[in-house]
């Protein structure tokens, strides 16, 4: 899969996937993501996350991680930001726990 994304695009996609993985995007989750990416990137990647199936979401994330080098610090920062998305609305449900587990395996 050849994704023409920057690392910022990727970050937006992963964080939006995290917010969307339980099929309920809370405004607090969206607000947190907006602190990490610009509005244009947010909307462009949001559309892509919503249009893609769950399998496509994970395939794209896996592909980008495989095709690009990330430092350990970048990986840890991304995982920390994913956790922040999940906790933004004050609760973490089972879908979000499962989503984090999968993302952690892909990114680590």
Q: Which residues contact 17 (CB under 8 A, 6 or more apart)?
A: 49, 57, 61, 99, 103
Domains of the chain with CATH codes: 7-107 (1.10.3680)
CA distance to 2, 4, 39, 47, 82, per residue, from 99 (Å)? 23, 24, 24, 19, 10
Q: 47-91 pLDDT, tens per residue?
A: 999 999 999 999 999 999 999 999 999 999 999 999 999 999 888
Q: 6-19 pLDDT, tens per residue?
A: 999 999 999 999 99
Residue 84 has a pLDDT of 95
pLDDT greater than 80 at residue 105? yes
- Mean pLDDT calculated for residue range 80-105: 92
- Report how far residue 75's alpha carbon sits from residue 56's, in angstroms, rounded to the nearest whole number: 21
- Report how far residue 83's alpha carbon sits from residue 88's, in angstroms, rounded to the nearest whole number: 8
DSSP 24-77: ---HHHHHHHHTTS-HHHHHHHHHHHHHS-HHHHHHHHHHHHHHS---HHHHHH
pLDDT greater than 80 at residue 1? no
């Amino acid at each position: 899969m050849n994704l023409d994304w920057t690392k910022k695009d990727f970050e937006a996609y992963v964080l939006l996937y995290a917010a969307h993985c339980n099929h309920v995007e809370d405004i607090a989750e969206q607000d947190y993501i907006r602190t990490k990416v610009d509005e244009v990137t947010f909307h462009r990647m949001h559309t892509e996350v919503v249009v893609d199936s769950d399998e496509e979401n994970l395939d794209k994330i896996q592909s980008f991680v495989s095709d690009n080098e990330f430092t350990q610090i970048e990986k840890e920062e991304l995982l920390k930001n994913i956790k922040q998305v999940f906790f933004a609305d004050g609760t973490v449900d089972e879908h979000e726990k499962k989503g984090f587990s999968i993302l952690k395996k892909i990114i680590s």
